[in-house]
Amino acid sequence: MRAIITDLHTRLTAALPCPVLLPEQRELPLAGRKPGQSGGLGGYLAAHPGGYVQLEDAQGISDDGVTAVWWVPVAALAPTAEQSDALAGQVRRLLCGSPRCPGPYTPTLPDTARLVSPGVSLCRPSYQILSIDGVLAV
């Protein structure tokens, strides 16, 4: 459901000081580089030392004909595990709110940062959202 990705992108780009990439931009950090620059994720993170957020496509989990439940992974990548965990925490607060003021998303699959390559840590929790008759319940 593209509306979920649009909603996530709008919310996160408005509040985070780092790039928020759409699913179709997943290869961007691995793409070309200027001469003399390091490439790959390490090079992208050198240009964005605060890390970045990678949105993934939402997956339908259940549908009863009126309401549907969707899960969407949201990855936080940063140079260190601490930075990755901190960025993922910011994302969680923006999407899920607090007990007194809950957001439209709920955490479903928690995660903790792990090293995926030298100088690159990833934390990739998933969030749940409901749609009612094809419209996001936000």
Q: 9-68, pLDDT tens digit by residue? A: 999 999 999 999 999 999 999 885 655 566 788 889 999 999 999 999 999 999 999 999
* 0.85 surpassed by pTM: yes
Total residue count of the chain as it appears in this document: 138
Is-contact 21 76, C-beta < 8 A?
no
Q: 108-132, pLDDT tens digit by residue? A: 999 999 999 999 999 999 999 999 9
DSSP 3-state of 107: strand
> What tokens appear for 122 in the block?
């990833």
Report strand pairing: 126-132 vs 114-117: unpaired
Our measurement of the distance from residue 13's CA atom to the centroid of its chain's CA atoms, rounded to an integer in Å, reads 11
- Residue indicated by tokens 């007990």: 99
Q: Which of 85, 63, 62 is nearest to 75 (CA)?
A: 85
Structural domain boundaries in the chain? 2-136
Specify the CATH number of the domain 2-136.
Answer: 3.30.2000
Mean pLDDT of the residues in the chain: 93
